[in-house]
Chains A and B, each alone.
Chain A
C-alpha cells in the first residue's frame, strides 16, 4: 500500500501547490508562487516514487487501468511543465499545469481498480503504446495551457486594460512559441503512439476495430491536430487561432482519454 500512500501524498501536494498558484495569480504574491513551484516539484518527486513503487512492487504498469494511465498522464504534465517553466522562464505555467494535474489525479482516484488488459495484448507493445500516447497528450495539455494564457493575455490587450492577473504572464510571442513547440513534440509522440497501437491491433487481434469509440476519437483527435499544424505551416495560423485550436484539440484528448475510459466502452480499458 506504499504506492497508494505516495499517490495520496502527491495529490495533496498538487492541491496545495494549486492553492499557492491561485494565491499568486489573484493576490499578486510572487513569493507564494515560488513556494508553490517547490511544492509542485516535491509533489512530482513523490508522484514519481509512487509510480515506481506501483510498477516495481505490484508489477502494475501505467497501462493497466484508467487510474494508472491518468496518474501517468498527470505525472507527465507536471514533468513537462517543469521543463518548460525553466526553459521559457515562465513560472506562471505551473498555475495552469499543476491544477490540471491535481484535477486529473482526483478523477483518477475515484475510478475503479485495475482491470486485466485485453488478452493477447501483453508484451512490450502495450506499455510503449500507452506511454507514447500519454506523453504526447501531456505535451498537448501544455499547448492548451499556453493557448489559454494566450487568449487571456490577448483579451487584456484587446480590452485595453492593465490586467493585473495577466501582467504576470509572458508575452504573446513566448506563449505562441511554447504552444508550437509543445504541439510539435506532442503531435509527434501521439502519431508514434497511434502507430504502435495499430501494430498491437494488427498482431494481437489480427484486425483493427475501427468502430471502437476510443479508436474513433483518437483518430479524430489526431486529424484535428494534423489540420492545426498544417494550417500553421501553410496558412500562418498563429496566435489567436492556434491558441483556440490547441484548446479544442485538448478537449478532444480529454474525451478520448478520460471520457471513453470512464464509461468503459469497447476493448480499450484505458
Chain B
C-alpha cells in the first residue's frame, strides 16, 4: 500500500483554477465516497482551502491515485490538460513531509499562519465521518498534528500575529488570561472594527458592546457579532465598563481623552484596560498609553508588531524545517519497521505449523506419556522455536529502520518459502504481533515528543 498526495496550491495554480477545483464543504462527503469507491483506492482524504486543493490517498497500486484525480476533475468539470502543469504528485515520505509543512504553516502564503492546522484537522475529521480514513491515514494525520504542535511550541513560527487582527488578539492574551470573561467595546461600526472584533470573538470573547454615531449600523454590527449596543453619548461609561476597546470611528479628533481614562481607572480600581485604536486619524489620545495599567496600540503599532513578527517567523522557519526533516526520518523508520511485520508473522506461523505437524507425526510414539510429560514436550518444542526465532526477529526489526531492511525481509521470505500475502496476519495471533510492533514506535514517539 502506498501513500499518495496530489494537489495544487497557491504557488502552482492561479486563483481561477483553485476556485474551479475547490470542493464545496457540503459536497465533500459525496466526493470522498466516490473516490473511495474506485478500485485500488483504500483510504482517502481531501483538503480544500482557498490556497490549496489536495487529495491524500492510501492506494494498493500507484495507478489508483491517477484514477482518483481523473474522477475528481470529471466531477468538478475541469479539463485534465488545464490542471496537469500545476499538479504535484508526492508519494510516501514526501507526503508526510508535505503535510508536516502544510499543517505547521510553512507552506502557507502567509508564513506560519495558524488557521491551516484547523483546516487540516477538519479535512481529516470529514474523512473520518465519511468513513474513508482508515488506519493508514489515521496514523499519518495523527503524526501530522503532533509535528505541527511540536513546531508551534518549539519554534517561534506561529508567534504574535500574522495580521493586525491576530496581533491585537496576541496582545490581548498577554494582558488578559481568559478572554471569555472579558468585555469588548467596539466604537464605530466600520469594516475594520468588525474584522478586529471578529478576531476577538473567534478567540473566545463573548461579551461585545457596539457604540456608534449611527445607531442603525451599531445594531447591525452588534447583531452580526452576537452582542449589544450602547448609546454613543454615554461613551465614557461604556469605556469604563470594558476591558478591551476597539476604536475605529471616523471622528477627526480624539474621542477618548487621557483625563477621562485616568478618572475611569480610579473608578474601576485599576482594572487593566486595552485600547486597540485602528482609526485614522486616531480616536484615542496617545497619552492614554502613559497611564498605569492602560495599554494603547494604534494601527501603526500593530503593523510594527506584525512586521517584527514576520521577520522573526522567517528566521524561525529554518528551525521548523529541521524539525520537519527529523520527523520525516522518524516517519520513514516507522513505516519500514511496520513493513517487515508480515514477514515476521509469516515466519512464526511457518515454524509453528512445522512444530505441530512434527508433533502430530510422532503422536503414536508419544501416546504413552503422562499429561505432565506431554506438557513438557510442548514446552520443549515451543521453547526451541522461541529461542531460534528470537535473534532473526529482533535483528530484522532493527535492520528494518535502515533503507536496505526490506532486502533482509525478502531474503528471509525466499529462504523459508514464506507466502506473506496468504500468511498475512489474521485473528488473535496477528493482533498480538501488531501490539508487539507498536511498542518501538511508541517509544520513539516518547523520545521525540
Residue numbers of A with Cβ under 8 A of B are 28-31, 153, 156-158, 160-162, 164, 166-167, 169-174, 177, 235-241
Contact = CB atoms under 8 A, between A and B. Distances in A.
Interface stretch (B59-67, B73-81, B127-135, B303-311): B303-311
A237 B175 contact: no
Given A171-B175, A237-B270, A30 B293 contact: no
A158 B177 contact: no
A234 to B, nearest CB: 9
16 contacts: A28-B156, A30-B154, A153-B174, A160-B305, A162-B308, A166-B174, A167-B159, A169-B174, A171-B173, A172-B272, A173-B272, A177-B177, A236-B271, A237-B270, A238-B271, A238-B293
A156 B301 CA distance: 13
Nearest to B176: A173
Most central of A30, A156, A166, A171 by chain B CB within 10 Å: A171
Nearest to A236: B269
Interface of B: 153-154, 156, 159-160, 171, 173-178, 268-272, 289, 292-293, 295, 297, 301, 304-305, 308-309, 312
A240 B156 CA distance: 28
Contacts of B159: 162, 167
Contacts of A236: 268-271
A162 B305 contact: yes
A174 B179 CA distance: 12
B269 A164 contact: no
A172 B175 contact: yes
Contacts of B271: 236, 238
A157 B294 CA distance: 10
Contact of B269 (A28, A29, A160, A238): A238
A171 B174 contact: yes
A170 to B, nearest CB: 7
Given A161-B308, A238-B269, A170 B292 contact: no
A252 B257 CA distance: 39
B173 A31 contact: no
- Nearest 3 CB-CB pairs, A to B? A236-B269, A173-B177, A239-B293
Given A173-B175, A239-B293, 15 more contacts: A30-B153, A31-B154, A153-B174, A158-B289, A160-B297, A161-B308, A162-B309, A162-B312, A164-B156, A164-B312, A170-B177, A172-B175, A172-B272, A173-B177, A236-B271
B289 A171 contact: no
B214 to A, nearest CB: 32
A162 B160 contact: yes
Given A173-B272, A237-B270, A239-B270, A160 B177 contact: no
Nearest to A169: B174
Contacts of B312: 162, 164
A28 B320 CA distance: 13
Contacts of B171: 157
Contact of B292 (A173, A174, A241): A241
Contacts of A30: 153-154
A193 B21 CA distance: 74
Contacts of A158: 289, 295
B293 A171 contact: no
Nearest to B297: A160
A235 B295 contact: no
Contacts of B156: 28, 164, 167
Nearest to A234: B269
B272 A160 contact: no
A177 B176 CA distance: 11
A171 B175 CA distance: 5
Contacts of B268: 236
A84 to B, nearest CB: 15
Contact of A160 (B178, B270, B292, B304): B304
A172 B154 contact: no
Contacts of B154: 29-31
A172 B174 contact: yes
Most buried by A among B153, B159, B175, B309: B175
Nearest to B267: A236
Contacts of B160: 162, 167
Nearest to B292: A240
Nearest to B243: A173
A256 B176 CA distance: 35
A141 to B, nearest CB: 23
A239 B178 CA distance: 16
Contacts of B293: 238-240
A120 to B, nearest CB: 49
Nearest to A28: B156
Nearest to A174: B177
Contact of A171 (B176, B269, B270, B301): B176
B292 A239 contact: yes
A53 B159 CA distance: 47
A70 B332 CA distance: 53
A29 to B, nearest CB: 8
B269 A235 contact: yes
Contacts of B175: 157, 171-173
A241 B293 CA distance: 9
Nearest to A238: B270
A29 B177 CA distance: 23
- Most chain B C-beta atoms within 10 Å of own C-beta, residue among A31, A160, A170, A240: A160
